[in-house]
Chains A and B, each alone.
Chain A
Amino acid sequence: MNDRRRISAEAVVIGGGIVGCASAYYLARRGVQVALLEKATIGGEASGRNGGGVRQQCRDRRERPFAIASVKLWEGLQAELGFDIEYVQGGNIRMAANDARMESLRREGAEELEDGLQVELWDRDELRRRAPYLGDVFIGAKYCATDGTANPILTTKAFGWAAQRLGATILTRTEAVSIGVEGARVASVTGRDQDGEIVVEAPWVINAAGPWSAALSRAIGVEIPVEPARSVIAITQRCAPLFREFISSHDLGVYARQAREGQVHVGGTNVPPHTFDQRAPADVLEHLARGAAQMIPALRGANFLRSWAGTLEMTPDKVPILGYVDRVKGYILATGFSGHGFCLGPIAGKLVSELVVDGAPSLSLHEVRFSRFG
């Protein structure tokens, strides 16, 4: 089992999260021979463990055009991937519990309209009328009707399956252990599975390994400034239909969506601790319970059924890294999504395919360039 297996491809993707799977899918769709290496299972990390929000509003201005473009892709994804990914444009409500928060939402809303994103500002009465299930702590909200939710696990897997149908080679339980560079250009990725090592030779390497992208890149002298961070979600038992929007409050520090099956998923908006530890601590679960009960009083009669945690990768400015690396030809970074990768995954994958095939992306990557960190 010690002899190294070799396969060759035109592009190799590291990481079977939504960014990696979408990259493989769009590359395969453009006719590129692509291989993907995933250390465990497709969508097994943060891509399958997140809140399921597909949101354009309340984003950093640099990231906004990507979110808007991604939602355009999301709208056709279900049909395109041929799988029920539970995508619903149910809207997104960001609530304010105090005047200062409302004022900042107002400023943000003006900027969003300027950038072509349709949002509405709701006062207290409008909020009561449009979202009567919300607690009375809120004095207003900002709403984006074209935002929505989807099933994170199934979407990520559906990208993987679709890529496979188009001829992509998906190697799960295969951990990328090194990137090979020849001259100034990438040449291969070496992976390890239960049978030993496998070398995938390719002139393009896409690092979409999220929290694990930094360690892999360091060995070839490319330091990616990402830190792991733990994000926890708790869910209730099935509830009668309560709401269809993705809702969040930074004042209470929680967000929620109700899945199609009726469970309410509750996550936190607080800055997560920098750790690879994926156990959900008790104080976080308590915080989510208190926040959920305040945000949605009807949940006071509900039970939490289960919780889980995922590992995000945070950049210093919480904006992704997407594009070429100047010093190493053929090396593309698609990482640092800072908790926004689920919504942005489709557009990130499409842009990766354009970087490989066209040499020029359809959206400017200037604001998300790697070199901004100097």
Chain B
Amino acid sequence: MTEQVEIAVVGAGPGGLCAALAAAQAGAQVALIDNNRHPGGQYYRQTAREFRGAPSSHQREGAALLQQAIAAGVRIIAETNVWGAFDDKVLALNDGAATTYLQARAIILATGAYDRPVAFPGWTLPGVMTAGAVQTLIKEQRILAGKRFLLAGTGPLQLVLAAELARAGAQVVAVLEGSRVFPRVLQHAGALWNQWERLSEGLSSWLTLARHRIPYRVGWGIVAAEGAAQVEQATIARLDGNWRPIRGSEEKIACDTIALGYGFVPFNTLSRLLGARQEWRPELGGEVPARDAQMQTSAPGVYAVGDCAGIGGAALARVEGQIAGSAAAAQVGHGTADAIPARASALARERRFQRMYAALFTPGVGLYELSQDDTILCRCEEITQAEVRHALALGADTTNEVKLITRGGMGDCQGRMCAHLIAHFIARETGRSVAQVGMLPPRPPIFPIPITALGVTR
């Protein structure tokens, strides 16, 4: 059975919430679908609703935005996966028990991003996890994933996480920043104008680090994780300008948890499935849909906002969401897109910041050269770099061809973990660009769904 709605928004993070709110305020009928227990996405990640305590300022902001959206008439469909997208803007929804279909006149995708996987020897050991995993556990459940943390990655979010860990009583043995950020930050200082909130958050995290005497090592990165059944120590090294480890600079550092925070990969599967033309934009995190000024993709009536259309953070997602929300509402006959010029300066400000952020914190190619031939690239199917190399010897030269020959990318995660890793390896070995090597085509269901739930419609 197919329900009709004027505008369907997928993902209830900052971008999706703002899009839904703007569209509803313009008078459109809006459904907001989210697959988490608590709407808010990663940025507004709420503490479990069964817990009682003082929420953080981000959490309060997210909760307020959600309440505003509900008050404006947005229908929230929580704990529901969008597993497919079909002709005539039909989204397939699944809540674990049954499938429903939602047909929209406009779709706004705000599906966010996930932490960038990085393959190095030992990266599949228990105790190596993404920074997002560590942070989600803290925010949502007030649980520490380990005792002695090594943070390896790039960008100010690492400082925020280190500060949270320290405040929660964990030991942070070091924070490794891959980018040689300080000599370059001054070149981009202009983009920090009007970013007081961000600067003060960064500064406060920085002070927490200093107070806890946590080493912050700029121009350093992870090289390997070692341990028998779990992480016991890490090998780290100083990096050159391309993020390649400098031979001879290696050090061992004892830890039980390695949190990888090397930026994010846009979750663009739905826009691809809806036929939106994609571009390879490393500075935006990878493959993203091309968009017009109203955030509309090349697929008419399909909009994309926030990190799923290019990593840019919560503030940019909010502005893009507002623009797409009004534009989509106007498209289905509610209000005019007049609100958009009013957002122009906010958009320009956030885009400036996005460009600065990308210039400072986009990982160099060395990050993709840490894997060795016996390193697993595809975690699900346990496909090693050597197996990928063998497929190249047989004539494969795209990520999809390697998948067909090796099974790398055929596993439960649908290639979301390995596609970038395999693509970069192929590009390096064949001398082609990552854009030519390509990503994997979406194959619905985009998340596994119970056969019984697919056979049952509500």
* Chain A contacts to B: CB under 8 angstroms: 41, 43, 48, 153-154, 157, 161, 172, 236-237, 261, 279-282, 285-286, 289-290, 292-293, 299-308
CB distance B455 to A306 under 8 Å? no
Select one of A43, A157, A299, A308 contacting B451, CB under 8 A: A299
* Nearest CB of chain A from residue B437's CB, rounded to whole Å: 13
CB distance A289 to B405 under 8 Å? no
B398-434: CB near A (< 8 Å → 1, else 0) gives 1001001101001010100000000000000000000
Select one of A157, A161, A286 contacting B457, CB under 8 A: A286
What is the bound-complex CA distance between A210 and B51, given in angstroms?
61
Select one of A161, A172, A261, A279 contacting B394, CB under 8 A: A161
CB distance B404 to A43 under 8 Å? yes
* Nearest CB of chain A from residue B89's CB, rounded to whole Å: 13
Name which residue of chain B comes closest to A153, CB basis: B404
* Nearest CB of chain B from residue A48's CB, rounded to whole Å: 7
* Nearest CB of chain A from residue B202's CB, rounded to whole Å: 41
* Nearest CB of chain B from residue A211's CB, rounded to whole Å: 19
Any chain A CB within 8 A of the CB of B450? yes
CB distance B412 to A261 under 8 Å? no
Given contacts A154-B405, A290-B455, contact A303 B450 (CB under 8 A): yes
Any chain A CB within 8 A of the CB of B121? no
Any chain A CB within 8 A of the CB of B92? yes
A-side contacts of B454, CB under 8 Å: 285-286, 289, 304
CB distance B445 to A305 under 8 Å? yes
* Nearest CB of chain A from residue B155's CB, rounded to whole Å: 33
* Nearest CB of chain B from residue A115's CB, rounded to whole Å: 36
Sorting the interface of chain B by its residue count into under 10, 10 to 19, 20 to 34 or 35 or more gives: 20 to 34
CB distance A282 to B101 under 8 Å? yes
Which of A41, A302, A308 has the largest count of B CB atoms less than 10 A from its CB?
A41
Any chain A CB within 8 A of the CB of B452? yes
CB distance A305 to B448 under 8 Å? yes
CB distance B451 to A292 under 8 Å? yes
Q: Which of B121-153 contact A (CB under 8 A)?
A: none
* Nearest CB of chain B from residue A358's CB, rounded to whole Å: 31
Any chain A CB within 8 A of the CB of B444? yes
Any chain A CB within 8 A of the CB of B69? no
* Nearest CB of chain A from residue B35's CB, rounded to whole Å: 15
CB distance B412 to A282 under 8 Å? no
Q: Top 9 A-B pairs ranked by shortest CB distance? A: A303-B448, A289-B454, A290-B455, A289-B455, A306-B443, A289-B451, A153-B404, A305-B448, A300-B452
Any chain A CB within 8 A of the CB of B84? yes
What is the bound-complex CA distance between A286 and B445, given in angstroms?
11
B-side contacts of A303, CB under 8 Å: 448-451
Q: Which of B78-133 contact A (CB under 8 A)?
A: 84, 86-87, 90, 92, 99, 101
B-side contacts of A43, CB under 8 Å: 404
CB distance B455 to A293 under 8 Å? yes
* Nearest CB of chain B from residue A122's CB, rounded to whole Å: 26
B-side contacts of A161, CB under 8 Å: 394-395
What is the bound-complex CA distance between A266 and B405, given in angstroms?
21
